[in-house]
Structure 1
Amino acid sequence: MKILAISGSARINSTNTAMLRAIQSIAPANIEISVFDRVGELPVFSPDLEILPLPRQVQGFIDAIARSDGLIVASPEYVRSIPAGLKNAIDWLVSGAEIVHKPIALLHASHRGDDMLANLRTVLATVSDRFAVDIFLRLHLMKMEPAEILGAMETPENRSKVEAYLRALALFCMAERESA
């Protein structure tokens, strides 16, 4: 099972990126997680740029999505909304077919951010008919450094939560693939 984990943060020391990397390191052997942490490198979306060849960074992002069985999206909240970089990344996907039937689940690194999560759920349910509303994990990792996040994720309690989350996502991806 190949999962692409998309960090909605453009920060180098992002909590969300560190969380996704920690999950990548503790994922079961049958679930391969790749982390996309370059939303800040994508050019600003414009329909005028949707001609072939697409910008290199955009094509790489789209190809990574196409190669995956499912997506995890983890994002901070900026001013009660989706960060511009993540929204821009999603905008690049709207005209293509790669995300339309792609299973997607959310992961969140904070005790807050409900407004952003509500907005992101609306956007993802609009671009994919396989958005998994019920597959969601919220961890409390705010203000931790990346090394602390890895340590927190390796605790038995968090590891079991992550494993259950990844199992649920893998089962959803397999069910969706069989029904296609």
Structure 2
Amino acid sequence: MPDNTVLVLVGSLRAASVNRQLAELAVESAPAGTTFELFDRLGELPFYNEDIDNDVVPEPVAALRAAAARAGGALVVTPEYNGSIPGVLKNAIDWLSRPWGNGALNDKPLVVIGAALGRYGGRWAHDETRKSFGIAGPRVVEDLTLSIPTGTLDGKHPRENAEVVEGLNGVIGKLVSEIG
């Protein structure tokens, strides 16, 4: 039975990514009784290929699926690349959607947030990510979102922006309340 563990996925592989900073801030801000587990191995996943999705999947895939199975929900933190989902995140969605209809995040609450250049803060990518995950099986919490234009951070860490911290804490609290 899943507990109050939240799987955290980051759609950017860059070490200094604002989205990674947001994910780390979420991990640090987890309410008492809840663990936010950052899965930091999306770059190790092979491209989804049904020929290798069998009883012995590659180890990074098995680790991702096990982390998702342990979780009661998921927080996805992603930038926007060329108006859409980063490839590494889409690949993770494909691996997590299998076996079809019985993926490790099936029916679990999932929220998508993040930051990106431009005045919309990655909303197109967030919408596409919610759509893809919604088809893949999790219960996407549509009314929970946080899209941050990176310019509003003035090059500072998200924890230094009270409005971002407040928004993130609101998302975290509502996501945790959806786990049950």
Which TM-score band applies after superposition, normalised by the shorter structure? 0.7 to 0.9
Q: Look up the match of 2:106.
A: 100
Q: Equivalent of 1:66, from 55, 59, 69?
A: 69
Instruction: For 1:149 and 1:168, locate their aligned partners in 2 and report how far apart those are by CA, in whole Å.
Output: 23
Instruction: For 2:124 and 2:168, locate their aligned partners in 1 and report how far apart those are by CA, in whole Å.
Output: 23
Greater CA deviation, 84-93 or 131-140? 131-140
Instruction: For 1:144 and 1:64, locate their aligned partners in 2 and report how far apart those are by CA, in whole Å.
Output: 34
> Against the structure 1 CA distance between its residues 151 and 160, is the aligned structure 2 distance closer, same or farther, given a 3 Å change threshold?
closer
How many residues are matched?
170
SS of the aligned residue for 2:24 comes to helix
- Contact 1:17/1:37 (<8 A) preserved: no
* CA deviation map 1:16-58 (0-9, x unaligned): 1111001211222222111122211111110000112110000
Q: Gaps (5+ residues) in structure 1?
A: 175-180
Two-structure CA RMSD over aligned residues (Å)? 1.9
Instruction: For 1:35 and 1:149, locate their aligned partners in 2 and report how far apart those are by CA, in whole Å.
Output: 18
Give the % identical residues.
28
Which amino acid in the other structure matches residue 171 of structure 2?
A: Y
Q: Equivalent of 2:10, from 3, 7, 17?
A: 7
Instruction: For 2:122 and 2:164, locate their aligned partners in 1 and report how far apart those are by CA, in whole Å.
Output: 20
Q: Equivalent of 1:149, from 131, 142, 157?
A: 157
SS of the aligned residue for 1:53 comes to coil
In the TM superposition, 1:69-80 aligns within 5 A as 69-80=72-83
Q: Gaps (5+ residues) in structure 2?
A: none
Task: Find out whether 1:162 has 2:168 as its counterpart.
Answer: yes
- Contact 1:137/1:165 (<8 A) preserved: yes
SS of the aligned residue for 1:18 comes to helix
